[in-house]
Amino acid sequence: MMNYCEIKYFDVANGPGVRTSLFVSGCTHHCKGCFNEMAWDFNSGKEYTTDVEGEIISSLSPSYITGLTILGGEPMEVRNQEAVGGLVKSIRRELPDKTIWIFSGYTFEELLDNTNKKCHGAYTLEILQNIDVLVDGKFDIQLKNLSLKFRGSSNQRIIDVKKTLAAGEIVLAME
């Protein structure tokens, strides 16, 4: 079971174009200066249900909606991955032209490390194979930079996941 704190429809701040953004609950990073501390508690917000998933998918249907962004909290905490994985697979099946972005405090390398049980689980690879972009890395208040597009600190990367998986090395989607 996963909870979520908020769903923003018509969001223009968390990825390119007009998007739906799902803010999941639960994060163990507890980054100093986090913009969303209320989402650290796995029990905060409301229960994520199949009805909620249906509403998210419906919100993506209009042609002017570019895609979905999943952030938090931490979408890639192992206990959130089953629900996140189900959602991204449903979107890929029903709306294959929509882009899917995930913001995670875990790095791409950590997510691929099958010995890292904090973030690598049964659904990790499936999620990565079904998304377009991963914004990775913990927010670092010492590296905070308000001029960066779609990231809070300069250590975070905007990764083109499909190209990265194909190349076997990190391919950035944008600087």
Task: Judge whether 68 and 91 are in contact, CB under 8 Å.
Answer: yes
* Residue 160 confidence (pLDDT): 98
Task: Judge whether 22 and 4 are in contact, CB under 8 Å.
Answer: yes
pTM value is: 0.94
* Residue 30 confidence (pLDDT): 77
* Residue 51 confidence (pLDDT): 97
* Residue 28 confidence (pLDDT): 84
* Residue 175 confidence (pLDDT): 59
Taking the C-alpha atoms of residue 63 and residue 72, their distance in angstroms, rounded to an integer, is: 26
* Residue 36 confidence (pLDDT): 75
Task: Judge whether 21 and 14 are in contact, CB under 8 Å.
Answer: yes
Ranges of residues in the chain whose predicted pLDDT is under 50: none
Tokens matching residue 94: 């029903």
